[in-house]
Amino acid sequence: MTRQFLQTVFILVYVVLATIVLGTVVVIVAFFSKNGNTPHLVARAWARSILFVSGIHVHVNGLENLNVDGSCILMPNHQSNFDIPVLLGYLPIQFRWLAKAELFKIPIFGHGMRGCGYISIDRSNRKSAFQSLAEAAVKIRNGVSVLIFPEGTRSWDGRILPFKKGGFVLSVDAGVPIVPIVIFNTWSIMPKGKLRIRTQSVRMDILTPIPTSGFTRETKNDLMNSVRETICNAFEENIHE
C-alpha cells in the first residue's frame, strides 16, 4: 500500500469520526442557540481540524473585503469537497449555507447543518426551490450572510462551470452586496469522483464586493455575467502567473 493511500484512509476515517462527534455537539448546542452562531463556531472547529489533519495550509487574501455594512452573499467557485472546510475554517464571519437538499439527508451531518441555520434547496422541485430562496432572502434582509456556490456543483476539471440563476434571483431580492471568492488548488487535493486525498496548500482570494441594488429579476443575468467574469478573470490571472 502506498503512503498516499494510507494517508487518504486516515483522513477519511478522521472526517467520519469528527463529523459524528462534532455533528452531535452541533445538534445539542443548537437547542440552546437562538441565532445559530454558536453551532457555526463548532462547525468552524470541525473544518479547521480536518484541514490540520490533512496537512493543508490556507492563505487568505482580501479579508478587508468582508467589511461590508450589514449582510452579504458570498459566492465562491467550487472545485472540491475540501472547499467546504476551507470556507468554514477561514472565513472569519458568521454565515449560513444555501445547500442542496441531499446534504441534509446525511445522518448527523444533516442535523448539524439544520442546527446551524443552513438553508436547504431542492433543485428537483421548482416550487420548493423558490420557497427556499424566499426564506433565504428574508434571513439576509434580517442581517444574516449566506454562502452560495453559483456553479451549483463541483467542477470535474477544476475550471469554472456556468453559473445557475437561482443565487442571483436571491441576490436581487435581498438587495445586499455579492462578495466573489476564488479558491485555488482544492481540485488537486480531491478531484470530483476521486477518493484519494493529496496534501496541497490552498489560496483563497476574497474579491471586492459587487453591489446588487441596481439590478432586478429582469436584469439578473447581467449581474450573473458580471460576477462570473470577475471570478473567471481572477482565476485565470492566477493560472497564468
Residues 223, 173, 178, CA angle at the centre, nearest 5°? 45
Q: What is the CA radius of gyration of the chain?
A: 17
Provide the sign of the torsion angle of the four alpha carbons 84, 87, 88, 89, taken in this order.
positive
**pLDDT number for residue 239:** 62
Cell numbers describing residue 40: 457555526
**pLDDT number for residue 1:** 58
Q: pLDDT at residue 127 above 80?
A: no
Q: Tell me the pLDDT tens digit for each residue of 155-166.
A: 888 889 999 988
Domain that holds residue 58: 3-239
Q: pLDDT at residue 240 above 60?
A: no
Q: Tell me the pLDDT tens digit for each residue of 77-113.
A: 999 999 999 999 999 999 988 777 787 887 776 777 7
Q: What is the CATH number of the domain that holds 171?
A: 3.40.1130.10
Measured distance CA(148)–CA(77) in Å, rounded: 9
First-to-last CA distance in the chain? Answer: 36
Average pLDDT, the chain: 88
Measured distance CA(79)–CA(193) in Å, rounded: 11
Please state the domain count of the chain: 1
Average pLDDT of the segment spanning 130-137: 80
**pLDDT number for residue 39:** 87
Work out the pLDDT band at 196, boundaries 50, 70, 90. confident
Average pLDDT of the segment spanning 68-75: 86
Average pLDDT of the segment spanning 207-226: 94
- Percent of the chain clearing pLDDT 90 (strictly above): 49
**pLDDT number for residue 105:** 80
Higher per-residue pLDDT: 135 or 221: 221
Q: pLDDT at residue 72 above 60?
A: yes
**pLDDT number for residue 179:** 96
DSSP calls for the chain: --HHHHHHHHHHHHHHHHHHHHHHHHHHHHTT-SSSHHHHHHHHHHHHHHHHHHT--EEEE-GGGG--SS--EEEE---STTHHHHHHHH--S--EEEEEGGGGGSTTHHHHHHHTT-EEE-TT-HHHHHHHHHHHHHHHHTT--EE--TTSS--SSSSPPPPPSHHHHHHHHHT--EEEEEEESHHHHS-TT--------EEEEEPPPB--TT--GGGHHHHHHHHHHHHHHHHHHHHT-
Work out the pLDDT band at 241, boundaries 50, 70, 90. low
What pTM was computed for the model?
A: 0.89
Measured distance CA(44)–CA(29) in Å, rounded: 14
Q: Tell me the pLDDT tens digit for each residue of 36-67.
A: 888 889 989 999 999 999 999 999 999 999 97
Residue labelled with grid coordinates 455579492: 178
